[in-house]
Structure formats: C-alpha cells, structure tokens
Amino acid sequence: MPEGIILKGVGGFYSVLGKEDGSIYTCTVRGIHRMQGGVTPLVGDAVTFNILDSESKEGHIDQILDRKNSFIRPPVSNIDRLAVVIAVKNPLPDLMLVDKLIITSVAKGIEPMIIINKVDLDEDLQADKLKKIYKNTGFTILALSKITREGYDELHTELSGNTTAFAGQSGVGKSTILNAVLDNWVMETGEVSERIQRGKHTTRHVQLFRLNTGGFIMDTPGFSTFSIDDATHETLADHYPEFQTSDLCKFKGCSHINEPQCAIKNLLNSGIIDKGRYDRYTQIYKELKESYDNRYRR
Ligand SMILES: Nc1nc2c(ncn2[C@@H]2O[C@H](COP(=O)(O)OP(=O)(O)OP(=O)(O)O)[C@@H](O)[C@H]2O)c(=O)[nH]1
Ligand SMILES: [Mg+2]
Ligand SMILES: [Zn+2]
C-alpha cells in the first residue's frame, strides 16, 4: 500500500503527498476513527492510503503511522523544529506565549528557534532586547525582515533538511516568511505552486510545504491562548536551558520561588537568567500548580 504525508486537511478531505510518485491525492478517512481509537489525522502525519482513482488522484487513508511527536497547538505532527515567531511590533511580542511554546517544544524533545520578525520597523532596539532575553537559552535566534531581507539566508540554512512548524500570534508574519522562503527555494513540481494567502489574510488551516533543498515547512494559524500539557509545576524548571546548573538548591523539590539558598535564584541574581523569563516562570509555575491541585475537580 502506498505511503504518504498529510499536507493539509480541510473539511474531512486530506491532501496526501504520495511518497513514491510525488503526486497529491485527495483522501477521505472514513472508518479511521474506529480503527485507531479516535485519533484525528494531523498535518505532518505519515499515512498509508489506498488509491481509489489514479486519474483524478483520489484516495482513502488507511492508517496513521506512528508519530515521532505531535502538538495540540499548533495541530501538527512529526516536526523536527518549532519556529516561534514574534514581531518587534505590530503586534507587540507576547513573551508569555513564547515561553509556553518553548517549554512545550523542549518537553517534546524538539529544539525551538526564535524568529524576531519585522526588524525593519524596529526603532528602539527592541530586537536586541529580545535577543538578550533569550540569549542564554542557547536556541537559535534569527532577526528577519521581508523589507530588508535580513536573516533570510540564515533562515534557509536552518530550514534545509528539517520539518519546521511556524507558530505564534496572529499577524507576526508567519505566512509572509513562508511565502518568501518558498519564492526563493520553491519546489519545481506542482505542490507548492499553490500559494499561501498573502497580505491581510489570516491563516485558517495548517499547511505543509516542501522545500527544494530538502525538508518541509508548516504554516499554522496564529493563536494567543495556550495551555501547557507536557510539563507539571515540578518539572517546569527542567524546560529552561538557562536554569540548568550543577549547584543544588538547599531544599529538595525547591520551586525556586520563595525558598532560601536557591541555585536558580543565584543564577537570576548573577544575571544569567533574565528577570522577565524568571517572572513568567513563577507565573506559569503557579498556573500549573493550581491545575495540579484542582486535578480531581471539574
Ligand atoms: N514591515 C514588515 N511587515 C511585515 C513583515 N513580515 C510580515 N509583515 C506584515 O505583517 C502582516 C501580517 O503578516 P502575515 O504573514 O499574514 O501574519 P501571520 O503570522 O501569518 O498571521 P496569521 O495567519 O493571522 O496567524 C502583513 O501585513 C505582512 O505584510 C516584515 O518583515 N516587515
Ligand atoms: Mg498566516
Ligand atoms: Zn531553587
């Protein structure tokens, strides 16, 4: 049976890129819910499918193959990198959302990268401030502008050979970035001739595109609310690379908030941990603890 990858799914129809012939098949999934315990197919899923009509390229998804990983938000699977996109302004960066996306990514063993977009609009060294906040995470941070083209060559190098999902607030420029990348490094064959909607269009569906240099990129709809499912208050600090130290906190199970002789507080005081990152950590800690404490309530 042929194998393929789901490029997009709209209204119960899935576009599946056939592995063998490189054609795109429009597939339905009738029955799969019963077969695989109600698993909903995600963009990025590797599947086996039946070809129902090889002329009109219609098919039927048979099975979703084991996922390397999956996200609820954005709803994607099998990614290698998560590109967390923010803009210097229009809209102003929501760093709480950035931190939550990073935590989730790290928890899934996926290396995030941070993209600071619209640097052509930067008037008060906002990009430098943002870079500084995340510097000690060690993650790749790219500053990008579609106007000046700054950062695009570096971005392309980062994308090649990987499957990268772009995530972040609405309006930060995810679709614009993907369009720019596809314009330069577009597949020759049909699948990416279909363009992402431009300009003022808000993306409504997740879509996967193939790069001619190897790898895929995923456009996703913007969002602003996000809840962490992959970490508990107890494991939260493990998902902050710059919090890692061989020093020990005095108290076992230290929350790094109110306890004395805390190794993380020392990192904060010595400037290794950014104050805003730490403050958001305490807020997320409290949110996670609260939902843990209320786990048996409705
Ligand atoms: N000045 C400037 N504007 C940009 C840049 N990149 C994107 N924009 C503009 O920002 C607006 C939003 O861009 P989109 O690409 O639609 O944003 P998005 O993140 O895909 O938004 P959603 O699909 O709603 O999640 C558009 O008007 C773009 O032209 C940039 O580098 N500089
Ligand atoms: Mg978009
Ligand atoms: Zn501590």
Angle at 109 between CA 107 and CA 115, to 5 degrees: 90
For ligand 1, atom 9, the nearest C-alpha belongs to: 173
Residue whose pair of structure tokens reads 């992402």 in the numeric block: 196
Mean pLDDT throughout 65-75? 95
Query: 234: pLDDT confidence band, cut at 50, 70 and 90?
Result: very high
Higher pLDDT, 164 or 229: 164
From 40-49, 88-97, 103-112, 221-230, the region with the lowest mean pLDDT: 221-230
4 lines ligand 1 (CB under 6 A): no
Angle at 269 between CA 267 and CA 270, to 5 degrees: 65
3-state SS assignment for residue 14: strand
Query: 34: pLDDT confidence band, cut at 50, 70 and 90?
Result: low
Residue 17: strand pairing partners: 5, 24
Closest CA to 228 of 296, 286, 284: 284
DSSP 8-state code for residue 6: E
Give alpha helix (H) positions in the chain.
Answer: 32-35, 95-107, 126-135, 152-159, 174-184, 263-269, 275-293
Which domains are present in the chain? Answer: 3-64 (2.40.50.140), 81-219 (3.40.50.300), 236-293 (1.10.40.50)
For ligand 1, atom 30, the nearest C-alpha belongs to: 118
Predicted local distance difference test score (pLDDT) of residue 212: 83
Q: What percent of the chain has pLDDT above 90?
A: 83
Predicted local distance difference test score (pLDDT) of residue 190: 35
145 lines ligand 1 (CB under 6 A): yes
Q: How far is the CA of 286 from the centre of ligand 3 (A)?
A: 15
Q: Give a three-class secondary structure readout of 70-129.
A: ECCCCCEECCCEEEEEEECCCCCCCHHHHHHHHHHHHHCCCEEEEEEECHHHCCCCHHHH
Q: Which amino acid is at 268?
A: L
Query: Can you say whether the dihedral through the CA atoms of 223, 224, 228, 229 is positive or negative?
Result: negative
Q: How far is CA 297 from CA 114, 225, 290, 291, in A?
A: 36, 22, 11, 9
179 lines ligand 1 (CB under 6 A): no
Higher pLDDT, 189 or 166: 166
Q: Is the CB of residue 137 less than 8 Å from the CB of residue 241?
A: yes
For ligand 1, atom 12, the nearest C-alpha belongs to: 171
Query: 33: pLDDT confidence band, cut at 50, 70 and 90?
Result: low
For ligand 1, atom 10, the nearest C-alpha belongs to: 173
Q: Is the CB of residue 167 less than 8 Å from the CB of residue 79?
A: no
Q: How far is the CA of 92 from the centre of ligand 3 (A)?
A: 31
Which of 176, 219, 220, 224 gets mutated to test ligand 1 (max ligand atoms within 8 A of its CB)? Answer: 176
From 43-47, 96-100, 188-192, 221-225, the region with the lowest mean pLDDT: 188-192
117 lines ligand 1 (CB under 6 A): yes
For ligand 1, atom 27, the nearest C-alpha belongs to: 199
Query: Is residue 74 pLDDT above 70, yes or no?
Result: yes
Average predicted confidence (pLDDT) for the chain: 92
Query: 185: pLDDT confidence band, cut at 50, 70 and 90?
Result: low
Query: Is residue 142 pLDDT above 60, yes or no?
Result: yes
Query: 120: pLDDT confidence band, cut at 50, 70 and 90?
Result: very high
3-state SS assignment for residue 267: helix
Predicted local distance difference test score (pLDDT) of residue 239: 98
Pairing verdict, β 141-143 and 58-64: unpaired
